[in-house]
Amino acid sequence: MKSIVFDLDGTRVDALAATFEAFNHGFTLFGAPALSPREIMKYFGAGEGEIFAQIVGRGNADQAYEAARLSMDNNLHRVSLTDQNLPKINSPRKA
């Protein structure tokens, strides 16, 4: 085997809840209120930097984004596999 490819967009790993938690960490550190997942999703499409600029202001956006990124990195161990993948892991196939 030459490589392994990981697909982390919700197909194999359910990281969306952890993403919302990390975003809120960055928001609240800079005085913005925590937002619900639905509220955060209204900003999706602009890119993370723009989301933070709109919520905490351009002057704090880079630092808030970095705080969120570090929070996510520190909590990746809590991210779970999607339910659809548990049977695949419990009964792997030979390649």
User: Range with the lowest mean pLDDT among 21-25, 55-59, 75-79, 86-90?
Assistant: 86-90
pLDDT of residue 78: 77
Q: What are the structural domain ranges in the chain?
A: 14-90
pLDDT beyond 70 at 3: no
pLDDT of residue 69: 95
pLDDT tens digits, one per residue of 47-70:
999 999 999 999 999 999 999 999
pLDDT of residue 20: 94
CA–CA distance, 53 with 72 (Å, rounded to integer): 19
